[in-house]
Structure 1
Amino acid sequence: MATFDSTSAGKSAGSSAPDVVVTDVVLRDGLQDEPVFVPVPDRVALAGALATAGIPEFEAASFVSARRVPQMAGAEELLAALPRSPEAKVAGLALSPTGARRGAAAYAAGQLDVLRLVVSADPGHSVANSGRGVDQALDEIGETLAVLPPSLTVEAGVSTAFVGLDGGLLPTERLLYVVRRLHDLGARRIGLADTLGTAPTEHVVHCLSTVLETFPDLTVGLHLHNAHGQALRTVDAALGLGVVRFDSALGGLGGCPFAPGAHGNLATEELVAHLHARGLTTGIDETALAEAGSLLSTVLARATAVPA
């Protein structure tokens, strides 16, 4: 039986670990909402460019139906072709037991380091995104953990953690309910996502503070989209609460096919530059990151349109 990962991130005494851990999600969240299909060789090249820039972890694939999200087709082919480096962890995302089994197979083949099991806090998004209600999705995570290999690193993620599909602020009690269910299943590292990108910094801070006070043994990360240019302000506020794990996407790409109006992710280039300007270390080379951004523009320009 697998268990959720319980290791924390950040710098410990005598450690050379970065102050802040940045996970780039352009290969998954970034490309899934683009109107084009980027072939596997180009995605492999992008992964190599991210690794060269010093990205410590990148989300490479989503184990979802290629019929529903055609941009994510070829996940297994992609993972098999990725160059492996001990300095760059490869993560994948699953929304269902079927997807989790695909992730476990990739792990068994030595192609995946981290499997992210994601549920939605907003009931409407849960049905639209995964075809199941929140409680069913949470129940399935418990069932899934029972059949995954115990050595596989599994992390929890919560989509629409702060704002629902209707654009209204999600009640903190709703988020606490989902986090509590995941915590009861053994999650000790949870990523909270502002999927629409419209959550005011003050609401995110209130939710974060409440979660951290309620579950002091949790390591919480943020996955921020950036509708109103508020994401860096939210990063600063979260850093003040001790959060040191952030998702971002090269070029600011991203969105959710099942969350109409969702905005792009906080750009990795902007996040890294901002953190460095604050004197925080990330282990990421900004020049090499800019080169990865240029490659991204190139591969998008030659990609083929996804059929309507």
Structure 2
Amino acid sequence: MTVTITDVVLRDGLQDENAVVSTDRKIAVADALVAAGVKHIEAASFVSPTRVPQMADADDVIARLPRTDPSVTYSALALNPRGVHRAAATGIDEIQVVTSASAGHSTANTGRNPDEALTGLAEALQKYPDRSFLGGVSTAFVCPFEGIIAPAVLVRVARAMAAMGVRRLGLADTLGTATTEQVLASVGAVRDALPDIELSLHLHNAHGQALGTVIAAHRHLGITHFDSAIGGYGGCPFAPGAHGNLATEELVAHLHAHDIDTGIDQQALGLAVGTVKLALAQARPLSAV
């Protein structure tokens, strides 16, 4: 049994730190992840450098990503049509377009309600029929402004994302507070509504429940793709109370302990964690940017 992991530290991990990591250090992190056998890496996001200065060098990062292993796939995130156009102009392998299940988080994150955000993204994707797009739904289970998200609300947003032609749809516990039972119920509802769409999970980890949720989602729903970030870094600048990501090294160790293969070398992954810590230690404080 095999599970695929996308490491998101270069995007979700660094965007929530109170510092700006240099492009050179970001590439060193990418090199370390590739050396550890990580095959899917979320490398950057194409968002406003004013709102998220940690991602201001997205174009340079994409241009310099290590291409020594042709089996490694890099993705970048876009929240709006401008981000899609910027990403499509680069050599990124996959573009992940993201919207929120809740109106409160969507407005805080993108300045638009979910319907407006979905309409804009759908129109942008039509311009790039030859590009590979992934979909993502933030606050899929819990919103910091609206509380619990009903499965029917999530299904409606997921249907709209699927209609755009995304190849895989990731559902995010942005706060990290959703219970395993809630995640299973909501993901099950989406799977029943969209049986032909591959689903993945992006779990933050507030109460240490994320590892149990991974195993339960894998066993009961057949989910085989998960996001995580080495070091457990990350969060969301526009979701008050968001906790860090599930740590890749913890996820890999937990899966291997359950005889689930990831193809990732745990010892080399430990070196990658050290590379991230060094990068942050040498980063510029956000106040100095």
- TM-score above 0.5, yes or no: yes
In structure 2, distance between residues paired with 1:71 and 1:183: 30
CA–CA distance in structure 2, aligned partners of residues 26 and 183 of structure 1: 26
Q: CA offset at residue 95 of structure 1?
A: 0.3
Q: Which residue of 1 aligns with 2:85?
A: 101
State whether structure 2 residue 227 is matched by structure 1 residue 247. Answer: yes
Count of aligned positions: 286
Aligned to 2:13: 30
Percent of aligned positions with the same letter in both sequences? 53
8 Å contact kept, 1:117–1:155 = yes
Select between 228-237 and 209-218 the one with higher mean Cα deviation.
209-218
Structure 1, 221-230 or 297-306: larger mean CA deviation? 297-306
Q: Distance in 2 between matches of 1:119 and 1:297?
A: 30
Residue in structure 1 matching 2:236, options 251, 256, 259: 256
Q: CA RMSD in A?
A: 1.2
> Separation in 2 of the partners of 1:102 and 1:299?
26
Contact 1:188–1:217 under 8 Å retained in 2: no
AA partner of residue 177 (structure 2):
T
> Secondary structure at the residue paired with 1:258?
coil
Check the 8 A contact 1:50/1:292 in 2, yes or no.
yes
Q: How far apart are residue 294 of structure 1 and its match?
A: 0.9
**Distance across 2 between alignment mates of 1:305 and 1:115:** 29
Q: Distance in 1 between matches of 2:144 and 2:167?
A: 27
Match of 2:192 in 1: 213
Query: Partner letter of residue 165 of structure 1?
Result: P
Q: Which of 209, 214, 238 is the aligned partner of 1:235?
A: 214
Structure 2: 5+ residue stretches without partners: none
Is this contact kept in 2: 1:250–1:293, CA < 8 A? Answer: yes
1:59 aligns with 2:38: no
Task: Give the Cα separation in 1 of the matches to 2:253 and 2:32.
Answer: 18
C-alpha distance in 1 between matches for 2:273 and 2:45: 21
SS in 1 for 2:223: coil
CA contact (8 A) 1:122 1:165 kept: no
* TM-score (normalizing by structure 1): 0.91
Please tell me whether residue 179 in structure 1 is matched to residue 163 in structure 2.
no
Deviations 1:5-55 (CA, angstroms, capped at 9, x unpaired): xxxxxx7xxxxxxx1110000000000000011000000000000000010
5 Å-filtered alignment, 1:262-301, equals 262-301=242-281
1:92 aligns to 2:71 (yes or no): no
Distance 2:156 2:93 in 1: 28
Alpha-carbon distance in 1 for matches of 2:218, 2:66: 32
CA distance in 2 between partners of 1:260 and 1:195 (Å):
10
How far apart, CA to CA, are the structure 1 residues paired with 2:172 and 2:71?
25
Q: Deviations over 1:119-168 (max 9, x none)?
A: 100111001111111001111121011112x2211011000000012362
Counterpart contact for 2:133–2:165, Cα < 8 Å: no
The alignment's TM-score, normalised by the length of structure 2, stands at: 0.96
1:223 match: secondary structure:
strand
Secondary structure of the residue that 1:51 maps to in structure 2?
helix
Structure 2 residue 185 is matched with structure 1 residue 201: no
Question: SS where residue 148 of structure 2 aligns?
Answer: coil
Alignment of 1:146-161 (within 5 A): 146-148=126-128, 150-161=129-140
Q: Is the contact between residue 160 and residue 194 of structure 1 (CA under 8 Å) also seen in structure 2?
A: yes
Secondary structure of residue in 2 paired with 1:155: strand
Letter paired with 2:30: A
Alpha carbons 1:21, 1:246 under 8 Å: kept? yes
1:256-306, Cα deviation, whole Å (9 max, x unpaired): 000011000000000001111111111100010000001111111111110
Cα-to-partner distance string for 1:84-124 (whole Å, 9 max, x where unaligned): 131211100000111001110113xxxx1110000100111
